[in-house]
Amino acid sequence: MDLSALLADIVAQAASREDRGTVASYIPELAKIDPNQFGIAIATADGRLIAGGDADTGFSIQSISKVFALTLALGKVGDQLWQRVGREPSGNAFNSIVQLEQEQGIPRNPFINAGAIVVADVNLGGHQPRVAIGEILRFVRYLTGDDSIAINEAVAASETATGFRNMALANYMRAFGNVRHPADLVLGSYFHQCAIEMSCRQLALAGRYLMLDGRHPDGGRVVSPSRAKRINALMLTCGHYDASGDFAFRVGIPGKSGVGGGILAIVPGRASIAVWSPGLNENGNSQLGTLALEELARRTGWSVFSAPGPEG
């Protein structure tokens, strides 16, 4: 399969589309991003990296960081985490507070904001936010082999200044005892985690351990095979907020989106894919990124719901 030619086709299709979605405006720094950008990169299980479009342009990974934060939290507390966070799709907006009242402060899953805030509380572990922030940054650099990855401080400050709903979620869960550190410390860690800046090329490299049953491609083990499988399962069922079912139906592979316009998608045993275009659809997922992954899955036959072909 000529992935380079396929990616060139997908980049050309993206360039020709007039409906590019709308950039996230509730975070002022993200509202400034030029929507006329599109990048895609694929890291394959046999060690290739194929990229197209704006694949080397850095962007704020936002909620994609929840995948790496969850991996760290499971390493710290294991399955005890599931006493504080559920594993079910929410069916509500990613920043909804409604379910928290009904479910006694236990977020529905770790990929909605409330769940990610509990995960950040676990990763804080009694330290100052700079320690937890440093840990997740080192982890992402280890996964990619790239020490240049950094946090966009302007984006972090923008989120801190405007993140009132996340503040409400954190304080509400603290009232139930499910956030155990002061809310401002947890959110300091969470906002900086979301402001990690990466390119499609870097993000595709960072996802390789989920493609390889938890192994780092350079040797060693990041997580166990069963934990990698479960993280992928959560990405499939919960990774696109209340559009997760539609993404599974249309694309058929695990994926995690972010309001910065990025999507990390995993084809177990085959590929780690990163796509980015800043314009979002009505569910807060990248408009062109979703369409690109749908086309990629159609053309390659990659899906967790079908038997692999000789090349797919």
| Residue range 161-214, pLDDT digits in tens | 999 999 999 999 999 999 999 999 999 999 999 999 999 999 999 999 999 999
How high is the pLDDT of residue 72? 98
Per-residue pLDDT band for 45 (boundaries 50, 70, 90) equals: very high
Burial of 22 from C-beta contacts in 10 A (0-12 / 13-18 / 19+): middle
pTM to 2 decimal places:
0.96
**Whether 256 is catalytic:** no
Which residue is catalytic, options 67, 85, 259, 267? Answer: 259
172 carries an active-site annotation: no
Amino acid at 1: M
Which of 23, 60, 63, 172 does the annotation list as catalytic?
63
Confidence of residue 311 (pLDDT cuts 50, 70, 90): low
pLDDT given for residue 57 in this prediction? 98
Two structure tokens written together for 213? 């049953």
Token pair, residue 11, equals 């980049």
310, pLDDT greater than 80:
no
Instruction: Quickly list H helices, the chain.
Output: 3-16, 28-31, 65-77, 98-102, 113-124, 129-144, 153-162, 164-175, 183-194, 200-206, 208-211, 225-238, 244-250, 287-300
Q: Distance between CA atoms of 261 and 54, rounded to whole angstroms?
A: 13
Distance between the two ends of the chain, CA-based, in angstroms?
Answer: 8
Q: In this structure, are residues 69 and 119 in contact, taking their beta carbons and an 8 Å threshold? A: yes
* pLDDT number for residue 118: 98
142 is catalytic: no
* Residue listed under structure tokens 């990929």: 111
Residues pairing with 255 in the sheet: 265
Mean pLDDT of 56-77: 98
pLDDT-above-90 percentage for the chain: 88
Q: Assess contact for 210 and 272: CB atoms under 8 A.
A: yes
Separation CA 70–CA 72 (nearest Å): 5
Q: Determine which one of 65, 90, 96, 190 is catalytic.
A: 190
CA distance 306 to 67: 24
Annotated catalytic residue within 241, 256, 277, 286? 241
Q: Which residue has the higher pLDDT, 50 or 26?
A: 50
| 25: pLDDT strictly greater than 70 | yes
Please give the average per-residue pLDDT across 30-56, as a whole number.
Answer: 96
Which pLDDT score, from 0 to 100, does residue 309 have? 61
| List 11, 60, 65, 66, catalytic entry | 66
pLDDT at 97: 81
SS3 112: coil
